[in-house]
Amino acid sequence: MSSARTKFYRDKQNGKLMGVCAGLSDYTGIDALWWRLFFLILTFGFGFGLPVYLALGIMTEKKPPHLYVDAQEQKYWQRVRQSPTRTAREVRSRFREIDRRLAEVESHYVSSNPRLSAEIERLR
């Protein structure tokens, strides 16, 4: 998983301060509001939320402006980051379904076209 779409980035476009919470939201699929509340609780409850936030803001790269084509692609990459094996299974399942449907179309076309069927038999 070395793709640029599987890395964690700060999302300065959708962020409030440094874009860390928006980046975490993009990376995990959890709403940025919950990440902001998490950092507030860490800051006021335990005292180390702000240093962690600042460290993440300084150490991570800014999100490239055109990383995803649309929201559907963004959701797909979030699923890949959460569970790569499940996503691979879903993709394989979709390809099997497409292959099955294509075989049905091919079978229908060949069986309903006697001239084509005779030509195929002649070639065998």
DSSP letter at 47? S
> What pLDDT is recorded for position 98?
94
> What pLDDT is recorded for position 39?
92
pLDDT tens digits, one per residue of 1-40? 457 777 888 887 778 888 999 989 888 888 899 999 999 9
pLDDT tens digits, one per residue of 52-100? 999 999 998 888 777 777 888 878 888 887 778 888 888 899 999 999 9
The C-alpha atoms of residue 5 and residue 11 are separated, in whole angstroms, by 13
| pTM beyond cutoff 0.85 | no
Using alpha carbons, list the distances in angstroms from residue 61 to 12, 50, 56, 57: 10, 18, 9, 8
Q: Which amino acid is present at 17?
A: L
> What pLDDT is recorded for position 1?
46
